[in-house]
Amino acid sequence: MRLGIIAEGKADIAVIKAVLKALKGIDGSDVVQLRPSEQFDETDLNEMNFSNWNLVLKSCEDNNLLQSFFDVLADDALLVVQIDTAERGEAGYDINEPLRTKDTDWKEYCDYLYKAVEYKISNIIPETYRDKVAYAIAIEETDAWLIPLFDNSCKETAQYANPKERLHYLIGRIDGKKRVKYINTDKKNLDYDNISKDMRKGLKTCRQKSRSLDLFCLDLENKCNI
């Protein structure tokens, strides 16, 4: 089976690929990056080399893009759509509930929000392909899915309103020698390729502490026939 990915960024794709490898043994060679495209390097100004939540939604309704992926592979293909919920209140995304409160039941919060975003995207995707899509809907950001790798005390990652900031903090407190492999010094950012490799061994723990990741994995297990 071949997997296609439409995502907000290359860091998100690194996380998705790690999940696919850990959960289903799918190698990167069997994954096609539709957006952002793997056909161009980061210095290329081609429009498909860029992405964000708005472009993810636009790609999901692009019949030509989806057709070029699915029709070549006939029935042996699945599309993964990744999107964060951090910007869900912005115009065009328009998902304002549920709200965060001090009494939030995080499992219910995740389930409600995941379903709301899934419903929105499924109604954008051309009907022909709707049953061939798995949803990687990250509550806030995919960084949240990585937090349990570095925080044993975490009970549910949805509790963090800014998971990227939390992940940076957790990695920042690691002993210097061990921390190096998680930092991309050239880009002065986290090295998501290396961090994601740890998820291949820690996926079970991450699923237990991140309901939105678990929902994505359950969707994959249901739709990925290998």
**Residue 225 burial (C-beta neighbours within 10 Å; 0-12, 13-18, 19+):** exposed
Q: How far, in Å, CA of 181 to CA of 176, rounded?
A: 10
* 205, 148 Cβ separation under 8 angstroms: yes
Q: Name the residue with higher pLDDT: 15 or 48.
A: 15
Q: How many domains does the chain have?
A: 1
Sort 80 into a burial class: Cβ within 10 Å, 0-12 / 13-18 / 19+: buried
Question: What CA–CA distance (Å, rounded) separates 169 from 122?
Answer: 35
Provide mean pLDDT across the span 112-134: 96
User: How sure is the predictor about 136, in pLDDT bands with cuts at 50, 70 and 90?
Assistant: very high
**27: domain range?**
2-223
Question: How do residues 7-45 score in pLDDT, each as one tens digit?
Answer: 999 999 999 999 999 999 988 888 999 988 765 455 444
Q: When comparing pLDDT for 70 and 187, which is higher? A: 70
- State pTM to two decimals: 0.91
pLDDT in the model for residue 215: 98
User: Structure tokens of 127?
Assistant: 């009907």
Q: How much is the CA Rg of the chain, to the nearest whole Å? A: 17
pLDDT digits (tens, 9 = 90+) for 181-206: 899 877 678 999 999 999 889 999 99
Q: Is residue 225 scored above 90 in pLDDT?
A: no
- Cβ of 162: how many Cβ atoms within 10 Å? 14
What mean pLDDT is predicted for residues 60-71?
92
Instruction: Determine the average pLDDT of the residues in 116-120.
Output: 97
Task: Give the DSSP H/E element, type plus range, for residue 4.
Answer: strand 2-6
